[in-house]
Structure 1
Amino acid sequence: MNKFKKKAAVLLSAVMLSSGLAYSPAVSLPSADAAPSEYKSAFDQKVIKRFQAERSIEHIAYLSEEIGPRVTGTEAEQEAADYIKNLLNSYGYEVEEQEFAIPDRMSGILETVDGNEVQVNIPSGSGSTDTDGITGLLFDAGLGYPEDFSEKAEGKIALISRGEFSFAEKTQNAVEAGAVGVLIYNNAADQPPLNMSLGDYESPVPLAGLTMESGQALLEDVAAEEKEVTFAVERLEDATSTNIIASKSPKHVDNPEIVHVTAHFDSVPYAPGANDNASGTSVVLELARILKSYPVDKELRFAFFGAEEIGLVGSEHYVSELSEDEVSRSIGNFNLDMVGTNWEEASSIYMNTLDGQANTVTESAEAAAERIGTSSPLTLYQRGASDHVSFYEGGIDAVNFIRREPETANLEPYYHTPDDLIQYISEERLQEIGELVGAAVYELIRK
């Protein structure tokens, strides 16, 4: 893309944020002999009348409550993959299971002497321990400047606040002071355990990120009373994740065009992932159930990705496995992520594209919204951060459908927290996005 187009795309997003207006991309007018909108709407009803948000709720309940957090590379993530695969088989699809390698993962546990477990995030670059971990006293190292340490830090686990300089520098200062472990807690309230990046730094001692609340509690209830904690970190090597793919091909059509409908099913640590992203997964599952029985003139692929939360690894693998011919025949990717929140402020359906420009998918969604009378506004927005990125970078028109607050583009407050629960899911909004995407997809693929 040239510099002018990049600037235009950024400006478009900035204008939308400041004005709070939804952007509706131009839709080509029908030709004189095109079918009237009433005729198209009749076909929309074949999807709308069959989409059942109650079924989506059942899927969300199983994924977020029966399984719970579905962290990349864990048994829980694989259990979710198996659940999706079994459902698709029951709908009559032949299902492909794509296994792929993921980067080594760090896992850890922090417990007080009283047996209370503290939630932690272990960054890449942390040192590891043996199975028993290390047990020791905490040392309050403030912000982690060199002068915040004394000879008393030696042999202890440094407890450091986030702020003012990098995590790697804080850790290095603690190591040089003789600390045998490092705990860094957030400086903002009501956030998940701190997810740190150390850059190229490799810590020789175990390291973990904590919430602000956990850090303060450790200072007041543990460090002040000179109580010990046990801290263990394990490196999980040769781990894998899984994509689940179901396809529906047209009869008697050579080399058909392809439409990809996708969602990721993994979640971050400690988050049940009801909205992120059992919601998107549940809607795609329901669309797969409905569209299985209808004749089509394009190939329809439903793909469910693992390892999205660690850097879109699953979707990158999926796109990398497409042949040049398959890419050339691919006309669009509808990616659903966080579509079910009941947070009132998330009143707009955002259509995120990586370049901020309209494409085949946004235009089909706008046209469907007009035909079926979708009540929530649709907002075209420049944003990555989901699996549509992999398709765009592979040369395929792609859109991430997601709910945000229209004036700020904020996500729900439960995002990536233990509060991402089914009680904050809206059945009405699941129905709305299912009807919208279902109508748009069916209009593209129907025979």
Structure 2
Amino acid sequence: MIPHALPQRAHFGRASLAFLGGLALVATGGLAATAGPTYSNSSNNTSEKLRTAVSVDRVAAHLDALDTIALAHGGTRVSGTQGYNDSVDYVVGKLQAAGYKPVVQPFTFPFFQELSPSVLAQTSPEPQVYPAGSFATMTYSGAGDATGPIITVDTTGAVGSTGTSGCEAADFAGFTPGSIALMQRGSCSFAQKASNAEAAGATAAVIFNTGLPGSTGPIAGTLSAPGIGIPMLGASYEVGTGLMGDNVTGHVTTDTISENRETFNVLAETATGNADNVVMVGAHLDSVVAGPGINDNGTGSAAILAVAEAMRKVETVNKVRFAWWGAEEHGLLGAHHYVNDLAASGELARVGLYLNFDMIGSANFGRFVYDGDNSAFPVGPGAAAGPAGSGQIEQDFHNYFAAEGLPSGETAFSGRSDYGPFIARGIPAGGLFTGAEGIKTEEQANLFGGVAGQPYDSCYHAACDDTGNVSVESLDQMSDAIAHLTLTYAMNTSAVNGVGGNEKGNFKQGGPYEGNPLGGGTESGGGLHPEHDHDAELADH
């Protein structure tokens, strides 16, 4: 059984779901007709049967449902909102209908939403309204409207001044309450500066960049958690130094929600299989605030739901546990919560491997496999080490694609998706990714089709990430690969971790296929955008 099974939460009042009569998918190539699902009349205990059952139409129907939910809730399914809660209810309902006993795992997380654009202006001696793009609202900023003197705190504004501006309460000696604090980025966290400014009576605060090469633009910073009640902005070096001087007054407005909220993971597992060698298959269910999240990551969520439905009668050798993660877009928080919970209970050792599927239908897709052996992306700032066995998972995906006559490239374990907490604990991992904001190369266009020089997903983290933002070709191919490898490891993980073997699980296909010799890789490795500087400030950057 799933460790620490929790009672199902109270019903959220799921909206009535009307399918849209066929997903409006972006076709990037021909799609062969698929047979109807066989999950109702077959055990689906071979790769061919399971892939037939996991038809692209079935996956698309789940995407239609998630898109309908988003449309009913302001165009978003972000964790901590009713749109996400209804997404959870939808997945739970489908799992129950398929005969599973899903577990809904609640956890609290720091929620942040900017409701309208912030304002930064100098009101005297020379009035100036600063344009969007020259400053940014810090994540977890409080909301407010402040007008008053702008007081510089412990900095001369010199280029590269990386001192302790605002880091100590003593920096605010003589600070006039009701004023706006102006600080320069330096050696302590943004949160510490904000806390000191608020304690000194500041009605708002602005932190500007160092002016060093690469650190001149606006700071897209985070305070790490709710708790600061005043507006907090990160500004460019030019804006910050422009606000310095005697008798300067200004105006700052932020319109935000910053609070702790409850959200949920959903977990379900097969009735059969070795519970000491669990094959985990995961995808994040949440979207960003800005959009419905159909490619990112309705596609991964829909695909593994279709696989789970189709596997309901399969007698597995190893237990398979499916996971839909919450609050991934807030920092992989659902997966972190789950892994930490298993580690604390001593159950983590039972997880034999983890497969991650985050964005598998990008309209200008690449066919990328996580680089488990670090052959394409050596360990460094943009690539974590794949634990032992991860290279075999990578090879197995490449072998599958090679057997299907499909070239595949590689993507780094960049820390941008829910595999992160698993590989940090040494669990073998792998999975698929079809690209986010990265730009497709000429080599990749030759390999995968599509348009070179354009993003893999031009609607990444945007309102247009709806059902019109998905490639049916990519969705079909990736869903088949997910089904094949999930069933393979349900029957035999011995090549990955030395246990859980059974000959009927050896679906040998093609290979060996050693990645992509033409350079078809991408560094981005997942759907979480690294869009904020964090509170360790210069020590981390």
Q: Could you tell me which residue of structure 2 aligns to residue 241 of structure 1?
A: 263
Counterpart CA distance in 2 for 1:421 and 1:415 is: 10
CA–CA distance in 2 between the matches of 1:339 and 1:265? 13
Deviation at 1:416, TM superposition (A): 2.0
User: How has the CA–CA distance of structure 1 residues 108 and 47 changed in structure 2, closer, same or farther, with 3 Å as cutoff?
Assistant: same
Residues 1:298 and 2:330 are matched in the alignment:
no
Shift of 1:318: 1.6
State which of 72, 97, 101 in structure 2 corresponds to 1:94: 101
Q: Summarize deviations over 1:327-379 as a string: whole Å, max 9, x none.
A: 333321111001111115x35444567315762422332333344x1524142
Q: Residue 122 of structure 1 contacts residue 195 of structure 1 at CA under 8 Å; is this kept in 2? A: yes
For the residue of structure 2 that corresponds to 1:321, the secondary structure is helix
- Do 1:351 and 1:401's aligned partners in 2 also have CA atoms closer than 8 Å? no
- 2:328–2:334: 8 Å Cα contact kept in structure 1? yes
- The CA deviation string for residues 76-113 of structure 1, in whole angstroms up to 9 with x for no partner, is 222211111111111111111111122x3344433799
Q: 1:403 aligns with which of 428, 434, 446?
A: 434
Contact residue 137 and residue 233 of structure 2 kept, 8 A: yes
1:219 is matched with: none
Count of aligned pairs between the two proteins: 365
SS where residue 242 of structure 1 aligns? strand
Q: Is the 8 A contact 1:332 1:361 kept in 2?
A: no
Aligned: 1:366 with 2:387: no
Asked if 1:61 is matched to 2:64, the reply is yes
Give the corresponding residue for 2:232. Answer: 207
Structure 1 partner of 2:222? 197
For 1:121 and 1:418, locate their aligned partners in 2 and report how far apart those are by CA, in whole Å.
20
1:155, 1:179 within 8 Å by CA — same for their partners in 2?
yes
Matched, 1:420 2:440: no
Q: 1:48 aligns with which of 39, 43, 51?
A: 51
Q: 1:391 to 1:170 in 2, by over 3 A?
A: closer
Q: In 2, are the aligned partners of 1:386 and 1:400 still within 8 Å (CA)?
A: no
Q: TM-score, normalised by structure 1?
A: 0.66
Name the counterpart of 1:151.
Answer: none
* Superposed counterparts of 1:77-88, under 5 Å: 77-88=84-95
Amino acid at match of 1:109: L
| Alignment partner of 1:444 is 2:478 | no
Alpha-carbon deviations, 1:219-272, whole Å to 9, x = none?
A: xxxxxxxxx9964444323x222110011032xx66452110100011222122
SS of equivalent residue, structure 2 residue 320: strand
* Percent identity for Structure 1 against Structure 2: 25
C-alpha RMSD of the superposition: 4.6
Question: Which stretch of structure 1 is more off in the superposition, 67-76 or 384-393?
Answer: 67-76
Helix, strand or coil at the partner of 1:322: helix
Corresponding position of 2:418? 387
Cα distance change of structure 1 residues 157 and 231 upon mapping to structure 2, 3 Å threshold = farther
Q: Indicate conservation of the 8 Å contact 2:326/2:334, yes or no.
A: yes
The letter of the residue matching 2:79 is: T
Q: Deviations over 1:128-159 (max 9, x none)?
A: 35xxx5376999x9xx9969xxxxxx989999
User: Which residue identity is paired with 1:383?
Assistant: S
The amino acid that maps onto 1:44 is S
1:329 equivalent in alignment to 2:350: yes
**In structure 2, C-alpha distance between the alignment counterparts of 1:383 and 1:368, rounded to whole Å:** 23
2:165 is matched with none
Give the Cα–Cα distance (whole angstroms) in 2 for the partners of residues 121 and 425 of structure 1.
31
1:145-156 alignment runs, 5 A limit: none
Which of the pair has the greater relative contact order for Cα pairs under 8 Å at 6+ separation?
A: 1
Given residue 284 of structure 1, which amino acid in structure 2 is its aligned partner?
A: I
- Does the CA-based 8 Å contact 1:339-1:403 persist in structure 2? yes
Which residue, out of 256, 272, 289, partners 2:309? 289
SS in structure 2 opposite 1:318?
helix
What are the Cα deviations for residues 157-185 of structure 1, in whole angstroms up to 9, with x where unaligned?
Answer: 9999x99999959989x999x98446899
* 1:429 aligned partner: 474
Compute the TM-score of the two structures, normalised by the length of structure 2: 0.55
Distance between the aligned counterparts of 2:463 and 2:208, measured in 1? 17
Note the residue ranges of structure 1 that are not aligned, 5 or more in a row.
Answer: 1-40, 148-153, 187-192, 216-227
Q: Which structure's residues are more often helix, by fraction?
A: 1
